[in-house]
Amino acid sequence: MSAGTAGGGSGTLGAPAIETRGLSKSFGTQHAVAGLDLMVPSGSVFGFLGPNGSGKTTTIRLLLGLANATSGTADVLGLPMPRRLDAVLPRVGALVEGPAFYPFLSGRANLHRLDAADPHSSPSTRTSRVDDALDRVGLGAAAGKKAKAYSLGMKQRLGLANALLRPRELMVLDEPTNGLDPQGTREVRSLIRSLAAEGTTVFVSSHLLAEVEQICTHAAVMRAGTLVAQGTMAELRADGTPRVVVLTPDAGAARSVLVRLGLVPGAADRGHADGELVTAALPAAVAAEDIVAALVQAGVRVRGFTLDAGSLEDRFVELTGEGFEVAR
């Protein structure tokens, strides 16, 4: 999908769970979010991607009524925010900017207090719901430990448990794997998949490309407060620039031929048992067979030639001008 385009395209699963139109937030002369037109299909696992400082958390705060927009509108679950805050928030679970708990209470006691403060929760089912939520995030064995003794990852899990105390139509998770070890990260991915299987829309903000790529059906990319692309994962991949990959022991000569044809070789070639892998962006005006013919005519020994649609990482670097963390 083209940059800045609203809509989930052919992958739309239903009416939008989140929809914004021209949503903006400024702090003096600084534009944290500028003219955001975002559409999150119901039932999707939606990745909200961007480098740190790109406006992701500010957007989430606007969606949840934690901050007021400078201009524009936001609908969550079909209702305008923050005007219908009272009707929307009971249907939304959220983990934003790291959870805060009473340090001298246990994890279980913290959840009891938080649930008791929710006017929509049922006291009669509180104990069972708290225990179920703790088990679901892997904190059952540590439920009696004081929160001050919890690691950052355990606090993240406790925050997730709080969001899971009641069934939700929408889950908004800001960097949900922050502080988690690899096993914890895998468990959170599994949890997100199970929520989606139950029909919950999951909105995941992250700067970790691998996290989004493994679990999301749709994604949007932010850069400096501006939406630069959104759509299904397949659409975002398809918008990338295709590349040619040439396997040859004559890497220097191959690069010269590619340059002569108007291609821009990659900054570094990769070693291979049969030579080197020389890559270059493929312009629309150049046919792959013409490249092969030119290489052979120049005496380049071509031991392999492939067309690569480009990785999601390459696409996001193109959009933002910055790299993403792709693994922990």
The CATH number given to whatever domain includes residue 283 is 3.30.70.100
Any domain includes 219: yes
Alpha carbon separation from 30 to 13, 205, 225, 322 (Å, rounded): 35, 22, 10, 20
The answer to whether position 33 is within a domain reads yes
Statement to judge: residues 166 and 251 lie in one domain: no
Task: Judge if 77 and 199 occupy the same domain.
Answer: yes
207 and 87 in a common domain: yes
| pLDDT computed for residue 328 by the predictor | 41
Contacts of 8 (CB under 8 A, 6+ apart): 39, 40, 41, 44, 218, 230, 231, 232
Average pLDDT, the chain: 85
Going by their DSSP bridges, the two strands 226-232 and 218-223 should be labelled as antiparallel
How many domains does one find in the chain? 2
Which of 198, 219, 238 is the last residue in one of the domains? Answer: 238
Is 165 a domain residue? yes
Looking at the structure, do residues 181 and 210 belong to the same domain, yes or no? yes
Looking at per-residue confidence, does 118 or 20 come out higher? Answer: 20
Give 200-236 pLDDT, tens digit per residue: 999 999 877 777 888 999 999 998 899 988 999 888 8
As a whole number of angstroms, the distance between CA 189 and CA 307 comes to 32
User: 67 near 225, Cβ under 8 Å?
Assistant: no
For residue 107, the model assigns a pLDDT of 95
The token pair that represents 158 in the structure block:
């406790």
Pair 163, 260 in one domain: no
Same domain, 174 and 298: no
The boundaries of the domain holding residue 189 are: 9-238
For the segment 81-108, the average pLDDT, to the nearest whole number, is 90
Q: Give backbone dihedrals phi and psi of 138, rounded to 5 degrees, phi first.
A: 80, 25
- CA 38 to chain CA centroid, nearest Å: 14
CATH number of 48's domain? 3.40.50.300
pTM given for the model: 0.75
Are 139 and 106 in a shared domain? yes
Lowest mean pLDDT segment, chosen from 2-11, 53-62, 101-110, 254-263? 2-11
pLDDT of 267 > 70? The answer is no
Are 22 and 69 a contacting pair, CB within 8 Å?
no
